[in-house]
Amino acid sequence: MRSDLLLAPQPTTKRIADLDGPDFYPTPAWATYALIDNEDFTGVTWECACGDGAMSKVLAEASTVESSDLYDRGYGESGVDFLNADRKAKNIVTNPPFHSAEGFVSSCIDKADQKFALLLRLAFLEGGARYRGIFSRIAPSRVWVFSERITFYPRNAERKGSGTTAYAWFVWDRDHMGATELKWFAPGYKKQYGG
């Protein structure tokens, strides 16, 4: 095979350079609307990695929201390290930093009294260590798969191109009985709420 025909490996996640610090890619509003249109969150909901408030502002249409973040991005209470915070909430909803996803799941198990939902790559379902450490102990109640791809852009970045990675809302609900339910969001949220 000719070496000049080989293609370099391509990234599997479309993320533009993060200009606002560690792993900060605001969640498009339509992705949060998909969740609150299909899941109820009664009582207080804690958005514990609120960034610039993109998700918190949408969640506020469905419940009372408390917002915090480790970094000061101009919204919510800054300086709160969710993984080490000594507080609880009835519900927790967030898009956790990619490299901290497992820690966020473990912390939510202890800190959410009723329900928690995390926006994660669909591939989060994979892995023996993750199975042993999380899913064998407490599997999600529901996994809501997006039929439209999400593209995460840094704040104020030009919005062009489309995502290449499948994402889903992973929902743990203490009232749920039985096996994990696999569900899909029908197409249209991106168009309806802007994407």
Express each pLDDT in 118-174 by its tens digit: 999 999 999 999 999 999 999 999 999 999 999 887 666 566 666 779 999 999 999
> In angstroms, rounded to a whole number, what is the distance separating the alpha carbons of residues 138 and 67?
25
Task: Give how many domains the chain has, as a whole number.
Answer: 1
How many Å separate Cα 32 from the centre of its chain?
9
Q: Considering just the CA atoms, what is the radius of gyration of the chain in Å?
A: 17
**What is the pLDDT at residue 155?**
65
Residue 3 has pLDDT above 90, yes or no: no
| Closest to 84 measured CA to CA, from 68, 60, 66, 63 | 68
Does the residue 6 lie in any domain? no
Does the residue 91 lie in any domain? yes
Q: Is 23 exposed, middle or buried (0-12, 13-18, 19+ CB in 10 A)?
A: middle
Does the residue 24 lie in any domain? no
Does the residue 171 lie in any domain? yes
Does the residue 21 lie in any domain? no
Identify the CATH number of the domain in which residue 67 sits.
3.40.50.150
Residue 47 has pLDDT above 90, yes or no: yes
Does the residue 165 lie in any domain? yes
> Is the whole model's pTM more than 0.75, yes or no?
yes
Does the residue 150 lie in any domain? yes
End-to-end CA distance of the chain: 42
For the record, the structure tokens of 191 come out as 């168009």
Domain that holds residue 153: 29-193
| Closest to 82 measured CA to CA, from 98, 104, 97 | 104
